[in-house]
Structure 1
Amino acid sequence: MTAGMDEITQLALTLPVDQRAQVAKALLASLDDPADSAEVHEAWTAEIKSRVDDITSGRVQTIPHDEVKARLAADRAARQQR
């Protein structure tokens, strides 16, 4: 870390928690590439549409949440007995 970066870091660490969170959020947001963000959004939109189409067409069947939880609990219990 350069001296300037170290100085900024030390200064930021003196801020209250909520202000440090705002600074961290701003710094992380500055790393996002807008082109990547648009591509990711477009890809997720296509994926969601595909999954909805699969469900509405009957190509796939959903599993009720309670059933999924029960299966996971049974799998976990079986692994713990090994």
Structure 2
Amino acid sequence: MSMNLAEVEQAMLALDRRDLAALIRRGLQALDYGDSEASQDEVDEAWRDELRKRVDDIERGRVETVPLAESFARAREAVAATRM
């Protein structure tokens, strides 16, 4: 039996928080991997490589860091601008 979107949503929202979180995680993984054959180890290694690159960029002065409070303020401004 096939379910339509409204039925899936209703069933999803009836789950307890733990099961809902597990379902969402699995759904996000499906979106992340799509048709990719990449293993979790390959994905993890790609993230480690990206992190190393970003740390190196900071240490070599190729990027400018922003204080956390300023970063949050910019994010709030950007969100507020989309609501107007």
After superposition, the CA RMSD in angstroms is 3.8
Q: 1:67 aligns with which of 67, 70, 73?
A: 70
Equivalent in the alignment of 2:33: none
Q: 2:61 aligns with which of 58, 61, 65?
A: 58
Count residues with an aligned counterpart: 61
Query: Which protein is richer in helix relative to its size?
Result: 1
Which ranges of 4 or more aligned residues in structure 1 deviate by more than 4 Å? none
Tell me whether 1:40 sits opposite 2:22 in the alignment.
Answer: no
Q: Which has the larger radius of gyration?
A: 1
Which stretch has the larger CA shift, 44-53 or 70-79? 70-79
Listed as ranges, the gaps of 5+ residues in structure 2 are: 2-15, 27-37
Q: In 2, distance between residues paired with 1:77 and 1:43?
A: 33
What is the deviation of 1:48?
A: 0.7
Q: In 2, distance between residues paired with 1:55 and 1:71?
A: 20
Q: In 2, distance between residues paired with 1:74 and 1:45?
A: 31
Secondary structure in structure 1 of the residue aligned to 2:65: coil
Listed as ranges, the gaps of 5+ residues in structure 1 are: 2-16, 29-34
TM superposition score normalised by structure 1:
0.50
TM superposition score normalised by structure 2:
0.49
